Amino acid sequence: MEFAALALPFALGVIMFGLGLDLTPGDFGRVAKAPRAAVIALACQLLALPVLCFGLVLLFRLPPLLAVGMMLLAASPGGTAANLYSHLFRGDVALNISLTAINSVIAVITLPVITNLAIQIFQPGDLTVGLQFRKTLEVFLIVLVPVALGMTVRAIRPGFARAMDKPVRIASIVILAIVVIGAAASSLDLLTANVLRLGGVATAFCLLSLGIGYAVPRLLKIEKPQAVATAFEVGIHNATLAIVVAQSVLAQPEMALPAAVYGILMFPLAAVFGMIVTRQRAAA
């Protein structure tokens, strides 16, 4: 447990540092020039997804610890893989980068709030306090400090930042795989007992998130490239962050299981979704 307490925040730090290497201050300001798509995406992410996830948790009748873990996942911002999928399936990558940056900042507030509410509702064991100021500060440190460092490196050494882009992306995927395996192994009995429910709720949450992220912007007359970007931003969550918060901040390894299962399923599900959307665009 002591090793995990040190290794998991460091692993997340590498991923968030890589995100920072992709960002500039202009990414935050770009949204102000075309705010409509960003506002719709953030509304889906911050308002629709927690409600959707809460409904799925009740529908699948998850045990309290797993229920809070799912809500923690829903509160996590978009993952760095969203940018890659948006690029592969012709989305507006600049919008993805901007949304990821803004979401990472907002999540410092919204993630503790949503997780705290979930803890109060589901009452998992004797964990009834939720994320207080000290824990909120921990979330702030493990999310924003590495991002700020990455942005600083990019500003000072842009050539180095470009050269490190691919290695850090590969490292992020490897780290996610290791974190997912570790989270599953640490609570294997609970995972085995709930594997069908977890697989079902994670699949439903991922597909519905992708669908909402695409359909809502299109219904509101947002251009297709921006709708594709929104779909992946809303549908691909930072599973590593959810696992780190569950294990290192809340000290509840069982809460990491929904994010671990989701972390395995989201890649093929997002790829299938992207191919379907691309075919629709080609037909149109």
The span from the CA of 119 to the CA of 49, in Å, is: 17
Which of 197, 230, 278, 234 is CA-nearest to residue 50? 234
Q: What is the DSSP letter of 123?
A: -
Q: Which residues contact 258 (CB under 8 A, 6 or more apart)?
A: 62, 66, 69, 70, 72, 73, 198, 201, 202, 242
Q: Which residue has the higher pLDDT, 261 or 141?
A: 261
* Mean predicted lDDT score pLDDT of the chain: 80
Provide the CATH number for the domain formed by 2-278 in this structure: 1.20.1530.20
Amino acid at residue number 234: V
Task: For residue 130, name the pLDDT band (cuts at 50, 70, 90).
Answer: very low
Bridge partners (DSSP) listed for residue 234: none
Mean pLDDT check: name the lowest of 48-52, 99-103, 141-145, 258-262.
141-145
Bridge partners (DSSP) listed for residue 237: 78
Q: What is the pLDDT of residues 215-257, one digit of tens each?
A: 999 999 998 989 999 999 999 888 888 888 888 778 788 888 8
| Model pTM score | 0.78
The span from the CA of 82 to the CA of 238, in Å, is: 9
Q: What is the pLDDT of residues 67-78, one digit of tens each?
A: 999 999 999 887
Q: What is the pLDDT of residues 83-126, one digit of tens each?
A: 778 878 888 877 887 787 788 778 888 888 898 889 888 876 65
Whether the CB-CB separation of 87 and 93 falls below 8 Å is answered with yes
Q: Which residue has the higher pLDDT, 57 or 87?
A: 57
Provide the residue ranges of all domains of the chain, joining segments of one domain with +: 2-278
The span from the CA of 221 to the CA of 172, in Å, is: 34
